[in-house]
Amino acid sequence: MPMETARKEAFIVHAVAPAETVPETSVRPEVVPYILDEEAIARARSRRIVWGRFAVAVLIFLVWEVFTRIGWLDSYYWSSPSAILTTTWTQITEGSLLGDIAYTSGSTLLGFVFGTFLGALLGLSFWWSRSYAGISEPYLIILNAMPKLALAPVLVILLGIGFFSKVALAFSMTVVVSALSAYSGVKSVDPDMEKLMYSLGAKRHQVFAKVVVPWSMPWIISSLRINIALALAGAIVGEFIASSQGVGRMIMYAGTILDINLVWVGVVVLSLLSMLMYWGVVVLEKWLSKGLAKQ
Amino acid sequence: MSHKIEISGVSKWFRRDGQEIPAMRETSLSIEAGRFVSIIGPSGCGKSTLFNIIAGLMPPSTGKVLADGENIVGKTGYVGYMLQKDMLLPWRTILDNIILGMEIRGVPYKEATERALPLMEKYGLKGFDKHYPRELSGGMRQRAALLRTLLYDRDIILLDEPFGALDAQTRLTMQNWLLQIWADFGKTVLFVTHDIDEAIYLSDDIYVFSSRPGRIKTKITVTMERPRKTEDMTSPAFMDLKHHLLDLLSAGHDEEQIS
């Protein structure tokens, strides 16, 4: 119990025993506690995860291979990992698979880069005038809702069966998403931040460059992952409609001649391509975030 | 003494639902160079409106604002302005935030940092130049925000509740820090607060505003000697003034409740 040592008009001061007189033995536990090595546990867990993922992949391919060999899966429809591998190899050495991959990735990347960049510019431009933004917004939403792939035949007729109709499709898939993302960023800019800039004598273009653009970067960056997948889908559909090259055309062709193995090759190649591009975008995101949007 | 800043007949009206609503009644005040002037009043009394008008961010409905005899209505860039939120840009380092005003004016980067670094060192931000705002405490961030305002090189500085979001301990440290800076730089400071202790401790003059629509109720000159110390906050003279101000403000509050 603390002792009462001084009583004033409106308060009482209590004395508390000084720290050094508290016996040390009363606070030290009798048993030395077992200390968890949290780092070691985390390391072991991440090792388990890597091996587990690898094992699942091996299991899937093994089951696929074995089932098609013993006839539980019809290898005519399902092909098999070994058949896909050998077909891929002949397509690389004797066919034009590498050229097709280059063609498809080229139109995808071009469409992605232009669509994302111009879309972001469009979205950012809405900061300059509320009337302009207000007039444009419903049209942007309509464009976003419209299934762009349904326009593919028109684009092919308009731009021909060559490379640019595929780029245009990839572009049209990405541009609106990117514009809407950038516009969300613009709308979220803290008005007090703008106020501060004006109070420091900033002109509008300085507020735009120093606040609005970096502020909106996370929104633009968040649209990249969606956009790379959309661009690839656009390019492939373009090749389905009419094309003389590309992985999409190869799949279409293989389907018409009932070469199911070759269809599977196309599917696997596109999956790998998509994964590779996704990974590239993740790297790009990290790089952009580090440089521009340190928050 | 010369009047650094003169506000005459400034009022602000808003139109809402077809009705004209006064946010601030005709207000006139003139401030001499180098004074520390506080404005206190209940929330919504138009203190921030007044600041926005002085900073040129909002045109007044009537009246004019003169700085060194020049009409600055609707002109930004004549005064340094600091808000309650520090408004540091999160993607810039502390140093790059502090030199923002100079950067906007077109001062070369090297020159700007050469001016900023010694100030950071002197005023408690040594070694934080490469840090990002999120890595700093609230008090530190307010220091950076104030240094940014100072380095904008205006004679007049408007501070809108700069310590309103800080805890009591930090607030006290920051008040002493601000007095130090004010003594070193000799700026004319206009300070908005609703903390009576803070107003008395810091100010030469205190303007008491009435509740919405705001108008000046009283001007009080604090004659307490400088430099002031934390102990002064408990002196009888301080208590006397605090009592007086509390009465003034609570009277305004009652009026509001009745009407």
Antiparallel, parallel or unpaired: β B3-16 and B62-67: antiparallel
The pLDDT confidence band at residue A293, using thresholds 50, 70 and 90, is very low
Closest CA to A243 of A106, A50, A104: A104
Average pLDDT, whole number, for chain A?
Answer: 90
How many beta-carbon contacts under 8 Å exist across A and B? 54
A193 touches chain B (CB under 8 A): yes
In chain A, the percentage of residues whose pLDDT exceeds 90 is 73
Residue A22: what pLDDT?
60
Query: Which residue out of B51, B83, B89 would a mutagenesis test of the A interface target, given it has the greatest number of A Cβ atoms within 10 Å?
Result: B89
Under 8 Å between Cβ of A182 and A224: no
Give CA–CA dist B37/B258, Å, rounded: 30
Average pLDDT of B205-216?
85
**What secondary structure letter does DSSP report for A3?**
E
Average pLDDT of A204-226?
93
Residue B54: what pLDDT?
92
Residue A291: what pLDDT?
64
Residue B20: what pLDDT?
87
Average pLDDT of A173-201?
94
pLDDT at B224 over 60: yes
Torsion of the alpha carbons at A212, A214, A216 and A219, rounded to the nearest 10: 180
Contacts of A196 in chain B (CB under 8 A): 81, 83, 87
Higher pLDDT, A184 or B2: A184
Contacts of B90 in chain A (CB under 8 A): 294-295
Residue B92: what pLDDT?
92
Closest CA to B93 of B64, B122, B133: B133
> What's the one-letter identity of residue A177?
V
Average pLDDT of A69-73?
92
Average pLDDT of A269-285?
93
pLDDT at A1 over 80: no
Q: How many helices (H) and strands (E) in chain A?
A: 13, 2
Q: Which of A195, A214, A217 sits opposite B57 (nearest CB)?
A: A195
A201 touches chain B (CB under 8 A): yes
Q: Is B104 in Cβ contact with A206 (below 8 Å)?
A: yes
Average pLDDT of B151-158?
91
Q: Which residue spans within B161-200 are E strands per DSSP?
A: 188-193
Residue A6: what pLDDT?
76
pLDDT at A36 over 80: no
Q: Which of A248-262, B22-36, B244-258 has the lowest mean pLDDT?
A: B244-258
Torsion of the alpha carbons at B35, B36, B42 and B44, rounded to the nearest 10: 80
Q: Which of A9-23, A73-87, A216-230, B128-142 has the lowest mean pLDDT?
A: A9-23
Q: Is A192 in Cβ contact with B104 (below 8 Å)?
A: no
Residue A30: what pLDDT?
62
3-class state of residue B217 by DSSP: strand
The pLDDT confidence band at residue A121, using thresholds 50, 70 and 90, is very high
Average pLDDT of B160-183?
91
Chain A residue closest in CA terms to B145: A196
3-class state of residue B230 by DSSP: helix
pTM of the model: 0.82
Tokens coding B176: 């002493």
Residue B76: what pLDDT?
86
Residue A31: what pLDDT?
64
Q: Is A192 in Cβ contact with B55 (below 8 Å)?
A: no
Average pLDDT of B18-44?
88
The pLDDT confidence band at residue A23, using thresholds 50, 70 and 90, is low
Under 8 Å between Cβ of B100 and B89: yes
How do residues B54-104 score in pLDDT, each as one tens digit?
A: 999 989 999 999 998 888 888 888 899 998 889 999 999 999 999 999 999
A93 touches chain B (CB under 8 A): no
Tokens coding A8: 């004033």
Average pLDDT of A148-158?
90
Q: Is A206 in Cβ contact with B57 (below 8 Å)?
A: no
Q: Which of A6-10, A31-35, A54-58, B170-174 has the lowest mean pLDDT?
A: A31-35
How do residues A95-109 score in pLDDT, each as one tens digit?
A: 889 999 999 999 999
pLDDT at B259 over 50: no
pLDDT at A295 over 50: no
Under 8 Å between Cβ of A74 and A64: no
Query: Which residue out of B87, B98, B103, B153 would a mutagenesis test of the A interface target, given it has the greatest number of A Cβ atoms within 10 Å?
Result: B87
Residue A98: what pLDDT?
94
Q: Is A294 in Cβ contact with B57 (below 8 Å)?
A: no
Average pLDDT of A276-280?
94
Q: How many residues does chain A have?
A: 295
Name, in order, each residue with C-beta under 8 angstroms of B165's C-beta and a sequence gap of 6 or more. B84, B85, B138
Residue B18: what pLDDT?
85
Q: Which of A17-26, A234-243, B131-140, B155-164 has the lowest mean pLDDT?
A: A17-26
The pLDDT confidence band at residue A29, using thresholds 50, 70 and 90, is low
Closest CA to A284 of A207, A221, A216: A221
Q: Is A196 in Cβ contact with B81 (below 8 Å)?
A: yes
